[in-house]
Structure 1
Amino acid sequence: MHTPVNHPAQPIYRAIGGLTGLYLLVFGVLGFFASSGEPFIGRGDTQILGQGTNLGFSVFSVVVGGIVLAGTAIGRNLDVLINQWSAYLIMVVSLAGLSFLRTEANLFNMNVTTVVVLMAASLVLLMAGMYGKVGSDDEHEAWQKARLVL
């Protein structure tokens, strides 16, 4: 009930979520071409846009970016759900990458820059998911009343 409904900047948040999905998709495609021919979860020196990557992480980025873009294109509050759950997934992956950064368990070949960019992208997607909800006038009024209760 505390998630804003019909926020005045909802179209801007939706566009920001779409741009974040586009970034993930472009990063994944560039990483896919740069790391093709290497092992799927290999640890190498492949970097795209200053971020470490491998074929597995590139495929992950393409899939998540494509899902976010599809949700943005469909709308109807599906984008809100997709943005929020994608944000949580990316947070978990980035924190796991940070945990295993200098070990052999670094399956996605991440570096610190990758972790920071992924965490920023996840926070942007979470923000877009929280402020992008569209609803009826009754839902908006209920949100306004719940917001004003102390």
Structure 2
Amino acid sequence: MAHTPVNHPARPIYRAIGGLTGLYLVVFGVLGVIASLGDEFFAQDDTKALGQGTNLAFSLLSILIGALVLAGTALGRNRDVAINQYTAYGLMVIAMFSLAFLQTDANILNFSVATVVVTMLLGLVLLMVGMYGKVGTEEDQKAWQDARLLL
């Protein structure tokens, strides 16, 4: 993509932010599993972790997503960029789906409004991290710089 920066000077900071986001998802998931032990997999009750509604399904999904983001951060070399961007899109879709069905029986992940806001925010942070974490050769950076200057 010609519109995303290559070798951005703040790339290490964005990579660290991505790692912290993945760590947050793992911690939230583990606390959610602890809080929802003994409940049904798709329980729709008042179980909360870190102030957000959750159930066993969403807690395990959060652990999986967080581990994926952490693995991408550890691997680097543009694998993290793709993982962060696609994970961000997935989180935003989950948040919008859950917002649409918040007060219905289709709220299978036991979301609350706070959970929707935090999930959307995490998706936006991962999208930002994915856009500014791209690495490349000097030629890639020059091509990006030339394309940016033409706009």
Instruction: Classify the TM-score, shorter chain.
Output: over 0.9
For 1:32 and 1:24, locate their aligned partners in 2 and report how far apart those are by CA, in whole Å. 12
Give the letter for the 2:119 counterpart.
L
For 2:98 and 2:42, locate their aligned partners in 1 and report how far apart those are by CA, in whole Å. 13
CA displacement at 1:107 relative to structure 2: 0.2
For 1:121, what is the secondary structure of its paired residue? helix
| 1:36 corresponds to 2:30 | no
For 1:76 and 1:4, locate their aligned partners in 2 and report how far apart those are by CA, in whole Å. 14
For 1:103, what is the secondary structure of its paired residue? coil
Aligned to 2:105: 104
Structure 1 unaligned spans of 5+: none
Superposed CA deviations along residues 8-58 of structure 1, whole A, max 9, x for unmatched, are 000000000110000001000100111011000010110111100000000
Q: TM-score, normalization: structure 1?
A: 0.99
- The percentage of aligned residue pairs carrying the same residue is 63
For 2:44, what is the secondary structure of its paired residue? coil
Aligned to 2:89: 88
For 1:97 and 1:35, locate their aligned partners in 2 and report how far apart those are by CA, in whole Å. 19
Structure 1 segments of 4+ aligned residues over 4 angstroms from their partners: none
Give the letter for the 2:72 counterpart.
G
Q: CA RMSD in A?
A: 0.5
Structure 2 unaligned spans of 5+: none
CA displacement at 1:76 relative to structure 2: 1.0
Q: TM-score, normalization: structure 2?
A: 0.98
Superposed CA deviations along residues 99-121 of structure 1, whole A, max 9, x for unmatched, are 01000000000000000000000
